[in-house]
Every structure is written in structure tokens, then in C-alpha cells.
Chains A and B, each alone.
Chain A
Amino acid sequence: MAKIDMTRNAWRGAMALVVMLAMGSMHASAQGLVDRARMLTDRGPASFEVWAHQRSNAITSATLDAFYTGGFLTSDFLNRVLADHPEMATAGLEVGWSKRWSTRPFIKDQWSLTWSVGSDILTRAQWRQDLFALTFIGNAPSVGRQMALSGTGVRLGAFNRVSVGLEQAKSRQRIELSLVQRVAGAEWGIPYGTFLVSEGVDSMEVVMQTYASASVDNLPQDGGFSFGQIMPAYGFGVSGSLPLISDNRPLQLELEFRDVGVLWEPSGGQFAMVDTSLFTTGLPIPIAAYLDDNYVAEPGLTIQNVLDGNTGYEDVVFHTDSAVGRVLMLPSRLNAKLSYWPYDEFMMKAAVRAGNWMPQPELTLGVGWMPDARFAFGLDFRTGGWGQSRPALWLDWRITKKRILSLDIDDPLGFMWRQDVAAYTYGRGFHLTLRRIPGEDKWTRMMGLDRQRAFGQSGRRPGPSTRNM
């Protein structure tokens, strides 16, 4: 408490403007909805979360398993994969953790100081169906057709974040400022690329615009690579939460956004770019050189150049280890969740999750049941996001009076790795949360139980639960 008291004035000044602007309007509207329960006197909510998601809209678990297992991939197998391959494939990997604390209310007994730390690793890959075909099938079936490679790319980033903000004790409205460190980042893309071999295989045209960047000041050389060569970047973002509860109906709407801000990438990283095109009907030998002693080579690439390794094509690569600095958007995230309890033991929900480099918003529809005061579970239908529709399971388990352990399993069949039932799943993921809940308001009802009901008692309970989104 002493440490918190010491920081109170400092934060009050630093966050005053943000709080006034962001909370003013929300507070006004929220006031009409939130419960008028008395002020809490115990500590605010806290949580620890760990999550990991891997998903694609094109690569099934069976395909991934085949790639992982290794061996020879038959053309039948690859043609089946190609047949189900969308025009633009995406794949993503999210791994992260987060820890949050909140103090007791200390500003007019209504506002708590809240802060959190966490890390994310995000990977996004997308590729054209034609690129998959060119890589794994070959161009033979596509002779005479221009193959499009545009839009292909991979982006990776590892982020650390520290957030500090204020939370309204009763409404749980929260606003905070985040300092984000991108530990490392790399990116490769093909903004524009085509590949065409004419029918009859007598000409080939390749157009290629591609770039790559990496936040390292030296490329890994023979001497190896050290973490000291990585160039972190820093940025600021705003995060917040706006939960709304109806006084009249068992409805709850939770809006949450995270890391809306920018990142300043310092200069000095690696950047390479190729912007070239090649049209050839084949390279000359040249025959005339063998017949004419005084032959003077025509300008251009020859078979001999290729054999000698002096094609000159290294010149088309622009590379610098002094890339200019730039400003990037942080991988922001937006969650919106609407919950409805037609009965005390039964709930319905709809949720939307967007951002976080996902190619499209992720929509979730589901139902939940609380057969016991300490246990609730549900089944969701989830679609979008990193791709393909799939089921999701969740459960809340009140392990102590103030602590709830929540687990959300995205596409549970995907965890049946190498089982037949998992063959046609497109990913897997989990989100594990351990929360400490401050009791005695309606936010703690249902699994949190209200104050009229003793912990562990059964029976009907009015009002919504507070399961985290």
C-alpha cells in the first residue's frame, strides 16, 4: 500500500487528461446501468492469463502433421490439399501471457489503480493458392496460365507490454496507457508478383516485387547470431474496458480494446527489396561462340553465365543494413461480448474479436450452463479470425471463494493430434485464466455468487456472471 500511495499523485497527474477525456462520457452512460451497490472495500480484481492459438484457413491438422512428420509428400496428397486450398490462405500463431493487479479504491473510494504486464508472440502468414501450387505441385499443371503471387507475406513479432491505468470500482470501466516493447520483428512480403510459362513452354515471364525487413543490425553470419544484435522498438498504446449491465434485463455487454497506438521502429535495421521482371524464351549458349573465333558476346545472360555463377542477378537485390526508422501500428485488439441469461443456469452469448493481425474478425456464438454453484461450462460456435468454423468449449471453475479458473478451448478436436478425428481441423488454441474476484456486487454473481448466497449453496441466482471475455 505504501508503494501504491507513493505513486498515486504521480499517476494522477499523468493520467488526468486521458481519464477525463476517455471516462467522462462512458461514466455518464454507464452510471445509468451499473448497479448501485455500496463501495467495495477489498482489493480490486486480479488475473493471470496464458493463451496460445494456432490456426489456418488452409492447412488442416493432417496436412500439418504430414509436414511435421516429414518423408515424401505424394502428389495425390498435395493435390488434395490444393483442391481445398482457398484463393488466399492465412495462418496465424498467437502465444502470450498477461498478469493484472488492481488496488483497493482510493480516489473518492471509487477508482483503483490497475496495472498489468505481459508478452505476446504474433505470427501471421498468408499466401496465394498459386504460390502453394508453384511450390508443392510445380508449374506444369498451370502452363499457359498466369500464376498470381501477390499478397503473400509473413510477419512476426514478439512484444512485451506494461500498462498502468485506472479502474472504476463499481462499473469496472478501465482505461490505461501501455508501454509496448517489440523485442524483435521481421517481415517479408510480395506486394506484386506473377509467374507465367506460356503454353508450349517457349517463354517464361516472372514479375517480382518483394521486400524483407528484420529488426537486427547485422545478418547472422558465419560467426553466429547473438541477441545483442536485435534492435527492439518501443511504442505507446491505449487500452481499456467498458462493461455495461442492464438494470432491467439479464444482459451484459463488455467492450475491451487493447494497445491502440503506434510503435516507433528505430533506424538501422535490415531491409532488402527486389523489384524486377524477367522475360525469357531461354538463355543462349551461345552457339556462335563455338563457330566464330572472333565472336563478340551479345549483352545479356547466357547459359555460360549461369554455369559460371556470374548472372549479375545479385545486383537486382537492394539491401541495406541502415533502414530508416518508421512508425507502425501496434497489433491492436478489440473484443466485444454480449451475454444474456434467459434463466439463471443458462446463458447465451455472442462475441466478436478483431485485430491482432487476424485477417478477418472472429465471431463466436454460444450457450452456457451452470449446473453447480462452483462450475459452469458452455459450447460455442466460432468462425472467422484465422479461419474456418469450429467449435469451442469453455468452463469456469470456482476453486476458492474469490478465485475462478477459466479455460477456453478453441477447436478441441485439434488437440487430438494425429487422430483421425483431428484430421480435418484447422488449428487449436486455449486460453487459461485465473481470476481473483472482489465480491459483493452484481459483477460477482453467478459464478462469483452474490452476497445473499453463501459459497457452495445451490439454488436460483438472479443476474449475470462475470466470466471474463
Chain B
Amino acid sequence: MKTLFSHRLRVAWAFAGATVVLGLGGCQNELSWGNDVHVPVLDDRLSWGDIVPDSLFQEGDPTEAVRFALQDTVDVVDWGAVLEIPDTTWAIQYGGEEEGLPEGFPILPGANFIAVTDVFEFNVDPSRGVELEFAEISSGAIEIEASHTLGLEMDMVYEFPHITLNGQPLLFEFNLPSAEGGVPGSATTTVDLSGAQFDFTQAVDSETGLNFDTNMLDITLVAVASEFANPNGYLVQASDSIRLELTFQSLVMEKLEGYFGNWELPMSLGVGLFDTIPLPEPVADFEGMELRLHMDNTMGADLRLYLDTIALGELLVEGDLMAGHDIPRAIWTTGVPETTPWSLDLASPTSTFVQSLETFPDTVSVKGRVELNPFDTSDLLMDRWDAQFLPTAWLELSVPIRVGANGLLFSESFELDVLEEWPGFDGFLHLDFTHTFPIEVEAHLRAELLNGTVVQDTLLVPAGSVPNGTVGGSTLSIPLNEENATTGGTMFVDFAINTFGAQPFTGLEYVRIQGRLEGTQTIVIDHGED
């Protein structure tokens, strides 16, 4: 049985295999047939929300024009210029061309042979009348340079009693090496002032014994003789000199108090407008448009904005916008500003701004000035600045979209690629256009194939209307077959629109394109011998 079983199985295997091959071996020749296909292949819908963010829309009554809304900050002034304290240098020299080092004066080890107390005045522009009472430095430094010809080392001690750093008066020391062989002893050092606080009201006038009110700091300098080349001391020579110099440099203010002076800052603003779609014969009705410039003046200083020119494209805006506009200061309470709302109506009917905008300018540019402290309040010393509360300005735009156009929107040509492996379809791609935009569309399509065939069609889609509940629709049928697809060529498209005047757009308009493939797909079953 075992032998029989195995043998029969082998026979069965062979028999079964041969039968399958014979039975399912396939067709004698290539088999093909046409399959009539009607299927939807494309459906896309375009509405305002697809191309304009929701934040730029103000939807209201659907029967009225939707408003295009924009609120964006603008940098009109470089506020950093307000807070600049120029680099200021203090220097003192003994000997040489200056007095102060008597010849033959003995310097003994440990002697404080120089002790200076002086008043340091910052180089603020006197013409602006800047009066500073207090400043907190976010960054900056004191750079010190010292040199001398004496034959001894000295320990230099600098003290700024009205500069506090980490809660302590600023005090620092450094060693100044001895001069040797005719080479002066010199040294430089830098002190970081980040976080330092300046009190400009404590410096004392040595002549009157009274305090200065602003802009002054006391400085005390002591030089202590330490190491000598000659252990018995040093006698000052006629040619000896000492020069000590320090510079406050690159000071950036975190906080500032006092009076910031009266001066002007230039301002400019440029915004691109209708540069994305060049509309043919554009018309617009911006009645009801709102365009306001807002500013939060967080400074404790009054501002006055002068708009010298506003240009919409090439057109200059005329009207009372071109005057000075006062922006009140913030009221500072316990170090926090309380601002007064301020805005300027740029679309005021007393100017030609709106009329100019309806010409579809590509840009809007504003040039002007901001005057600091237009009113003299120098006696009050109540100007305040804190880098944490920067003044901000922003534009608020609300435009009812009532626009129109008439003419050729674009005329383009596209290369038609050759599809070498065409799937064997012969029919049409029907494109159904429906829309509710108040726009009549006329599109001419012309395909010039390399074999000389010209396929062309015109699509005329009537206007729709959301308020009227009408939908414009039309169908474009594009022939798709092997001859067209495998030839290649050029497609020319002319796309024209007509709104018949400025029309209100409700924001609910849409365009829908549906594509249907209708034709015969040839299906080929290859018997596999190729």
C-alpha cells in the first residue's frame, strides 16, 4: 500500500498539474474589449475661507458685502533712538602737560598718593534738553585705561557711589604695573554694567555744595603705591606723568526717568496692496471702509505724529490728515503705565484716502515724524520709559468688498506633456463649473497638438449671486484619447471676467469644479507570451 500510495500520488500530481495548465492556460491571443465608463473623478470647491484666513473676515448680514478685516502691528518709529545715551569719557592726567605731579615728591610704599573725587557728566544733547534722573542699564560697560611713567606698581580703586550694582555701590580695583626701561606701565579693564542703576540726582557740586538734579554721577579714584623697583621709595621725576581714562559705552536702557527732551524721530511705513491679481478695468466701491492707525503710547512722554505724505501708489492723499496729531503720554503708577486710547482715522471723509484707494494702488506709503515732548515739561521731570512696556502701533482695516472687473484676467500657455503610456481611454473629461460669484466668466481653451490637430472650446459661465440664490454653471468637455495624449503640444488659455460694475461679495461665494470621465476604456488581457 505504501508504494502504491506514493506512486499514485505522483501520478495524481502530474495529472492535476497538467489539468490546471490546460484548463486555466489562458487565451489563445490577446483579448480586449471596450468598457464604457462614467465615473466622477474630480470635485473641488473653493470658497473665501480657502484662501483668506478667518481672521481677515468680518461676516455680517449675508445680503451685504463681507468686510475684509486686517489688524496688524506696524513699526513706524525706531524707539531705541529715544533711549540712546552717547558713549561718554572721563579722563584725568597728572604731569606731562598737566599739573599735579610735583618733581621730587617722594612716594612711599602704601601711600595713597592720588585721591580724586570728581563729577561725571553724561554727553546727552544739551540742545534737546535731556534731563535724566534715573536709569537702569540692561547692557553696557565701563572701559578703563590707565598708564604712567612712575617706577612703582599701584593699586587703583574706583568708586561710583551713585551707581549700584546688585544693591551695592559700584567699587572695583585693578593693579597698574610699574614703568620699566622707559616703557610706561599701563593696564585696561572693563566692568560690566548689566543691571546697574544710575542715580543722577546725588552728585554734589563742589563749588556750591548743592546736589546736581540730573545727568551727573560722582566718581572717586584712589591710587595706592604697592610695589617699588627701589625698596626705599620713589621720587617723582620732572618727566613723570599719569593718565587715567574711563568710558561709559554701549549703554542700553532698561528703565529711564527724567525728561527725555524735545526732538523728532523720523517715521515711515510701506505696505503692499493690490499686487497679487492684476484686475482688468478694476472698479471698487469702498464706501464704509474703515482704516485707523492705533497707538498705545506706553512712554511717560507726550508724542506728536506728523504725517507729511501719504501716497497710495502715485497718488498723494490730501486733507487734514497732513497735520500734527497729539498722542498723550501714559500715566505711570507704581512703575506701570496706563495708556490713553488713541487712534487716527486714515479713511476720514475729510481726506482723499478712500478715493485714492479705489484706484487699486499697489502700495501705500506714509512718511512723517514723531515729535517727543511737544509740550515743555522739563521742569516736571516726569518722563518714564520701561523696556518691558514698549509703545506699539497697529493698523486696523475693515473694507467692504464691493469690487468689479471687466476684461482679460490672464492669458497663459501650457506645454502638454506626451503621455507615452496612455491607459487606452477614449472619451471626454467633462468639467462642470458652478459658482455663486457675481462674475461672468468666459474662458477660451485652444490646444494645438504637434500633429497639427487643434482642439478648442469656449466656456461661458454666467454670474451667480448669493443674495439672489442663483448659481452660474457651465460644462467644459475636454476630449481625452490616445491621439491627443500621445502627441503633445501647447494649450492656450484665455480667461476673462466681467462683474458688470462693482458688486458686493458676501463672503459666502464658492466655485465648484466637478470632473466626470465619460468614455470607453479599452481593457487588454495579454496572454503573456510577449
Name the segment of B13-21, B218-226, B255-263 touching the other chain. Answer: B13-21
* B495 → chain A closest CB, angstroms: 14
Contact status A143-B19, CB under 8 Å: no
Contact status B12-A119, CB under 8 Å: yes
Contact status B32-A71, CB under 8 Å: yes
Query: How many residues of B sit at the interface, in one of the four size bands?
Result: 35 or more
| CB-CB under 8 A for A67 and B36, given A138-B520, A283-B41, A303-B42 | no
| CB-CB under 8 A for A70 and B44, given A138-B520, A183-B12, A201-B518 | no
Q: How far is the CA of A294 from the CA of B411 in the complex (A)?
A: 25
Closest chain A residue to B44 by CB distance?
A284
Residue numbers in B under 8 Å from A74 (CB-CB): 33
Q: How far is the CA of A439 from the CA of B449 in the complex (A)?
A: 86
B35 at the interface (CB under 8 A from A): yes
* B448 → chain A closest CB, angstroms: 24
Q: How far is the CA of A38 from the CA of B442 in the complex (A)?
A: 104
Residue numbers in B under 8 Å from A54 (CB-CB): 23
Residue numbers in B under 8 Å from A202 (CB-CB): 40, 43, 432, 514, 516
B37 at the interface (CB under 8 A from A): yes
Q: How far is the CA of A296 from the CA of B293 in the complex (A)?
A: 32
* A350 → chain B closest CB, angstroms: 31
| CB-CB under 8 A for A285 and B42, given A138-B35, A183-B12, A292-B51 | yes
Residue numbers in B under 8 Å from A139 (CB-CB): 36-39
Contact status B513-A287, CB under 8 Å: yes
Could you give, for residues 23-35 of chain B, a 1 whenever the CB lies within 8 Å of some chain A CB and a 0 otherwise? 1000111111111
8 Å CB interface, B25-73 against A: 27-46, 50-51
Q: How far is the CA of A69 from the CA of B4 in the complex (A)?
A: 41
| CB-CB under 8 A for A197 and B40, given A70-B527, A137-B35 | yes
* A444 → chain B closest CB, angstroms: 28
Contact status B33-A73, CB under 8 Å: yes
B348 at the interface (CB under 8 A from A): no
8 Å CB interface, A194-211 against B: 197, 201-204
B8 at the interface (CB under 8 A from A): yes
* B213 → chain A closest CB, angstroms: 55
Closest chain B residue to A95 by CB distance?
B19
Residue among A73, A282, A291 with the highest chain B CB neighbour number at 10 A:
A282
Residue among A97, A140, A284 with the highest chain B CB neighbour number at 10 A:
A140
Residue numbers in B under 8 Å from A69 (CB-CB): 27-29
Q: Which of A93, A141, A280 is the one whose CB lies under 8 Å from B40?
A: A280
Residue numbers in B under 8 Å from A158 (CB-CB): 16, 20
A78 at the interface (CB under 8 A from B): yes
A286 at the interface (CB under 8 A from B): yes
B229 at the interface (CB under 8 A from A): no
Residue numbers in A under 8 Å from B12 (CB-CB): 118-119, 160, 183
Q: How far is the CA of A139 from the CA of B515 in the complex (A)?
A: 17
B172 at the interface (CB under 8 A from A): no
Q: Which of B4, B9, B20, B521 is the one whose CB lies under 8 Å from A121?
A: B20
A135 at the interface (CB under 8 A from B): yes
* B2 → chain A closest CB, angstroms: 11
A75 at the interface (CB under 8 A from B): yes
Closest chain A residue to B27 by CB distance?
A70
Contact status B35-A117, CB under 8 Å: no
Contact status A68-B16, CB under 8 Å: no
Residue numbers in B under 8 Å from A284 (CB-CB): 42-45
Contact status A288-B35, CB under 8 Å: no
Q: How far is the CA of A231 from the CA of B272 in the complex (A)?
A: 73
B414 at the interface (CB under 8 A from A): no
A313 at the interface (CB under 8 A from B): no
> How many of A's residues come within 8 Å of B, CB to CB?
54
Q: Which of A138, A183, A285 is the one whose CB lies under 8 Å from B16?
A: A183
A162 at the interface (CB under 8 A from B): yes
| CB-CB under 8 A for A117 and B4, given A288-B46, A303-B42 | yes
Residue among A68, A138, A303 with the highest chain B CB neighbour number at 10 A:
A138
Q: How far is the CA of A195 from the CA of B15 in the complex (A)?
A: 40
Contact status A288-B51, CB under 8 Å: yes
Contact status B27-A136, CB under 8 Å: no
Could you give, for residues 112-131 of chain A, a 1 whenever the CB lies within 8 Å of some chain B CB and a 0 otherwise? 00000111010100000000
| CB-CB under 8 A for A282 and B31, given A93-B23, A138-B36, A140-B36 | no
Contact status B521-A282, CB under 8 Å: no
* A415 → chain B closest CB, angstroms: 15
* B438 → chain A closest CB, angstroms: 19
Contact status A97-B43, CB under 8 Å: no
Contact status B40-A71, CB under 8 Å: no
Residue numbers in B under 8 Å from A95 (CB-CB): 19, 23
Could you give, for residues 91-105 of chain B, a 1 whenever the CB lies within 8 Å of some chain A CB and a 0 otherwise? 000000000000000
Contact status A78-B33, CB under 8 Å: yes
Closest chain B residue to A181 by CB distance?
B9
| CB-CB under 8 A for A72 and B32, given A117-B4, A288-B50, A288-B51 | yes
Contact status B43-A282, CB under 8 Å: yes
Residue numbers in A under 8 Å from B518 (CB-CB): 140, 201
Contact status B36-A141, CB under 8 Å: yes
Contact status A204-B42, CB under 8 Å: no
A41 at the interface (CB under 8 A from B): no
Contact status B40-A204, CB under 8 Å: yes
| CB-CB under 8 A for A282 and B13, given A70-B30, A138-B37, A138-B520 | no
* B324 → chain A closest CB, angstroms: 40
Residue numbers in B under 8 Å from A286 (CB-CB): 44, 50
Contact status B43-A280, CB under 8 Å: yes
Q: How far is the CA of A93 from the CA of B24 in the complex (A)?
A: 10
Residue numbers in A under 8 Å from B4 (CB-CB): 117
A320 at the interface (CB under 8 A from B): no
Residue numbers in A under 8 Å from B39 (CB-CB): 139, 197, 201, 204
Q: How far is the CA of A388 from the CA of B31 in the complex (A)?
A: 27
Residue numbers in B under 8 Å from A52 (CB-CB): 19
A468 at the interface (CB under 8 A from B): no
Q: How far is the CA of A204 from the CA of B13 in the complex (A)?
A: 47
Residue numbers in A under 8 Å from B511 (CB-CB): 287
8 Å CB interface, A213-259 against B: 227
Q: How far is the CA of A75 from the CA of B36 in the complex (A)?
A: 10
Contact status A140-B37, CB under 8 Å: yes
Residue numbers in B under 8 Å from A119 (CB-CB): 11-12, 15-16
Could you give, for residues 39-67 of chain A, a 1 whenever the CB lies within 8 Å of some chain B CB and a 0 otherwise? 00000000000001010000000000001
Residue numbers in A under 8 Å from B28 (CB-CB): 68-70
Residue numbers in A under 8 Å from B43 (CB-CB): 202, 280-284
Q: How far is the CA of A400 from the CA of B181 in the complex (A)?
A: 145
Closest chain A residue to B8 by CB distance?
A117
Q: How far is the CA of A158 from the CA of B18 in the complex (A)?
A: 12
Q: How far is the CA of A160 from the CA of B27 in the complex (A)?
A: 28
* B486 → chain A closest CB, angstroms: 18
* B138 → chain A closest CB, angstroms: 36
Could you give, for residues 142-181 of chain A, a 1 whenever the CB lies within 8 Å of some chain B CB and a 0 otherwise? 0100000000000000101010000000000000000001
Residue numbers in B under 8 Å from A71 (CB-CB): 29-32
Contact status B515-A282, CB under 8 Å: yes
* A214 → chain B closest CB, angstroms: 14
Contact status B41-A282, CB under 8 Å: yes
Beyond A75-B36, A280-B43, list 17 extra A-B contacts (CB 8 Å).
A70-B527, A73-B31, A95-B19, A119-B12, A121-B16, A137-B35, A139-B38, A140-B37, A143-B38, A160-B8, A183-B16, A197-B39, A201-B38, A204-B40, A283-B42, A283-B43, A291-B46
Task: List 11 A-B pairs, Cβ < 8 Å.
Answer: A68-B28, A70-B29, A95-B23, A97-B15, A119-B16, A121-B19, A201-B516, A202-B432, A281-B514, A282-B44, A282-B516
9 closest residue pairs by CB, A with B = A70-B29, A282-B43, A138-B36, A140-B36, A288-B50, A119-B12, A73-B33, A138-B35, A282-B40
